[in-house]
Amino acid sequence: MNRKFVVATNNAHKVEEFKKILGPLGIECVSLKELRIECEAEETGATFGENAYIKARAVYELCKLPTVADDSGICVDALDGAPGIYSARYGGEGYDDAGRMELLLKNMERQQNRAAHFTSAICCVLDENTVLQTEGYVYGQLTREPRGTNGFGYDPIFLPDGYGKTTAEMEGEAKNAISHRGNALRELAKKLKEYYHADANQ
């Protein structure tokens, strides 16, 4: 596959992960910044999938180029799945990544059940009528204190099952190999291959 996609995100960490995960699969990713496109779509959806669609569609309408977006977050069992789709806005205005992480740890202080997972919904708008969507997950436990400086968001407090390191203590490649976003994007690459193959045979 040799294709080019616009990545509809304003999060530079996501752009880097998209490039590292999809590059070797033959999909070149171009960021909004590289294209000088400004777009802050309002995330009014009720699910990760709906929000990913809103973001991908908004950028597609601006540039009419194949566009891919991610909506993601951390879902904590003991908090009935919160912060979930509100992960980037947890606690409201005035918090940065570190502040949101501290708030989550504080809200989990008395909880013995530390189970949590990340979800990534990927939406790819190929043309006016063609939309591909996938989801990926990684399951694990919340730590009691932040550990590590790699990655972003809640990575320093997430210990994936079967690993002794938080995703912020892992190298980027190791995180991408098991992450929600890695899993969802690899699934997308499979769907794209099928789609282009079917299209070529029509």
Contacts of 97 (CB under 8 A, 6+ apart): 152, 153, 154
Q: Residue 136 interacts with ligand ITT (CB under 6 A)?
A: no
Count the neighbouring beta carbons within 10 Å of the beta carbon of residue 130.
11
Task: Exactly one of 70, 71, 127, 161 is catalytic; name it.
Answer: 71
Q: Residue 133 interacts with ligand ITT (CB under 6 A)?
A: no
Segment near ligand ITT (CB under 6 A), from 10-18, 122-130, 184-192, 194-202?
10-18
**What is the smallest separation between the CB atom of 78 and ligand ITT, expressed in angstroms?**
18
Q: Of the two residues 179 and 183, which places its CB atom closer to ligand ITT in the complex?
A: 179
Q: Residue 87 interacts with ligand ITT (CB under 6 A)?
A: yes
Is 71 considered catalytic here? yes
Widest Cα–Cα separation across the chain: 59
Burial class (CB in 10 A: 0-12, 13-18, 19+), 43: middle
Q: Of the two residues 80 and 202, which places its CB atom closer to ligand ITT in the complex?
A: 80
- Applying CB under 6 A, among 155, 170, 184, 188 the residue interacting with ligand ITT is 155
- Applying CB under 6 A, among 5, 30, 56, 71 the residue interacting with ligand ITT is 71
Q: Where are the alpha helices (DSSP H) in 23-166?
A: 32-35, 48-63, 97-107
Q: Residue 72 interacts with ligand ITT (CB under 6 A)?
A: yes
The whole-angstrom separation of Cα 169 and Cα 150 is 6
**Tokens representing 53?**
């669609």
Angle, CA of 3, 6 and 7, to the nearest 5°: 120
Q: Which of residues 18-47 bind ligand ITT (CB under 6 A)?
A: 43
Q: Using DSSP bridges, classify how beta strands 27-31 and 3-7 pair: parallel, antiparallel or unpaired.
A: parallel
Q: Residue 179 interacts with ligand ITT (CB under 6 A)?
A: yes
Q: Contact residues for ligand ITT (CB under 6 A)?
A: 9-11, 14, 43, 55, 70-74, 87-88, 118, 151-155, 179, 181
